């Protein structure tokens, strides 16, 4: 038997998920949310949820990094059918880009209008403090790779996708409005996506600041590219879990990242509770970013 194409694999994963959730949510989810390190508890508010471990979804891998549970959850999130991914695949784990973006392509295949990407990130902007939130306005792809490398998958999208509004301006405005209503201060900034798994050196952080980064992390960029390729609108929020290297006397640890992401998750939860139901009522999709 010949190896199925990426498109066929996505269809198989989508159909397997639809079989599991179809009776409870026949229209499928409108919004997708990928939860970053320490942010998994955001999905706990979904009711009537159908939980599917990644190991039960065709072509998904398990996850290994601490803070990443490795399951999909489709549920009623404050009135909006939402699909959550708890745990993502990172390039630094040794996965191929194709595997890193497979869950993104699958949730987009479920018919969502908007994908909300959350992550834990180091603060490069000197005004940022641990547990602050940053709405992602744009990114720098410094991963040295691109999920669209190789023959274009025309069934998914164009060869040369436009990324001039990779993160929807409407979504940034909406999230900012919600944060304001809740009196939660948020920043707007540029996320630099790096390969990792080492944290950066202080010299690298100075360079990233000079070239326009406000925060650094090891995820999100591939997913943003894959979703844009598919014409799905993207919103991104970073939880600043630590000051980037050289900005604090402390050494950086994954534990600090997890601890502060829990503080940030509480704020993120309050914003998403307001924002997600409102996202559905705003125009979405290709050309209406
Ligand atoms: N650097 C890179 N990735 C990160 C950081 C950081 O300081 N904090 C959380 N993810």
pLDDT digits (tens, 9 = 90+) for 212-225: 999 999 999 999 99
Domains held by the chain: number:
1
Task: At 42, give phi and psi (nearest 5°).
Answer: -60, -30
pTM: 0.94
Return the closest-CA partner of residue 187 out of 256, 250, 141, 124.
124
Residue 21 lies in a domain: yes
* CA dihedral for 225, 275, 138, 35, sign (positive or negative): negative
227, 106 contact by CB (below 8 A): no
Atom 5 in ligand 1: residue holding the nearest Cα: 122
pLDDT at 286: 47
Report whether pLDDT(62) > 90. Answer: no
Task: At 216, give phi and psi (nearest 5°).
Answer: -130, 145
Residues 79-102 pLDDT 10s: 999 999 998 899 999 999 999 999
Residue 127 lies in a domain: yes
Residue 1 lies in a domain: no
Range of the domain at 99: 6-280
Please tell me whether residue 237 adopts helix, strand or coil conformation. Answer: strand
216 lines ligand 1 (CB under 6 A): yes
Residue 289 lies in a domain: no
pLDDT at 36: 87
Residues taking part in catalysis: 37, 68, 90, 92-93, 120, 218-219, 242, 254
Report whether pLDDT(67) > 70. Answer: no
Burial of 250 (0-12, 13-18, 19+ CB in 10 A): exposed
73 lines ligand 1 (CB under 6 A): no
pLDDT at 69: 58
Residue 285 lies in a domain: no
Return the closest-CA partner of residue 186 out of 92, 274, 267.
267
Residue 111 lies in a domain: yes
Residue 171 lies in a domain: yes
Report whether pLDDT(48) > 60. Answer: yes
Alpha-carbon span 201 to 122, nearest angstrom: 12
197, 220 contact by CB (below 8 A): no
Q: What is the CATH number of the domain that holds 229?
A: 3.40.50.1580
Residues 223-281 pLDDT 10s: 999 999 999 999 999 999 999 999 998 888 888 888 888 889 999 999 999 999 999 96
List, in order, residues 6 or more apart from 166 with CB less than 8 Å away.
Answer: 138, 139, 224, 225, 228, 234
Percent pLDDT > 90 in the chain is 82
Which of 195, 244, 260 is the pocket-test mutation for ligand 1 (most atoms within 8 Å of CB)? 244
Residue 67 lies in a domain: yes
pLDDT at 289: 38
Residues 101-141 pLDDT 10s: 999 999 999 999 999 999 999 999 999 999 999 999 999 99
């Amino acid at each position: 038997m010949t190896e199925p194409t990426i498109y066929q694999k996505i269809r198989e994963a989508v159909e397997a998920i639809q079989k599991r959730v179809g009776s409870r949510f026949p229209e499928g989810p409108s919004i997708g949310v990928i939860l970053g390190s320490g942010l998994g508890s955001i999905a706990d508010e979904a009711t009537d949820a159908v939980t599917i471990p990644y190991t039960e979804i065709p072509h998904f891998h398990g996850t290994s990094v601490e803070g990443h549970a490795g399951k999909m959850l489709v549920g009623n999130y404050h009135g909006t059918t939402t699909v959550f991914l708890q745990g993502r695949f990172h390039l630094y784990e040794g996965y191929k880009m194709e595997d890193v973006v497979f869950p993104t392509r699958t949730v987009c295949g479920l018919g969502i209008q908007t994908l909300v990407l959350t992550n834990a990130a180091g603060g490069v902007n000197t005004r940022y403090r641990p547990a602050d939130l940053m709405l992602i306005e744009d990114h720098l792809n410094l991963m040295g790779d691109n999920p669209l490398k190789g023959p274009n998958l025309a069934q998914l999208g164009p060869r040369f996708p436009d990324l001039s509004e990779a993160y929807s301006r409407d979504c940034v405005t909406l999230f900012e409005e919600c944060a304001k209503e809740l009196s939660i201060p948020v920043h707007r900034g540029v996320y630099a996506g790096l390969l990792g798994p080492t944290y950066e050196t202080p010299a690298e952080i100075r360079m990233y600041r000079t070239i326009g980064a406000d925060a650094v992390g090891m995820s999100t960029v591939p997913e943003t590219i894959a979703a844009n390729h598919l014409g799905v609108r993207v919103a991104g929020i970073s939880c600043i879990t630590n000051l980037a290297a050289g900005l604090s006397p402390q050494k950086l640890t994954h534990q600090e990242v997890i601890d502060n992401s829990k503080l940030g998750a509480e704020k993120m939860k309050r914003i998403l509770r307001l924002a997600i139901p409102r996202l559905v009522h705003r125009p979405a999709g290709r050309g209406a970013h």
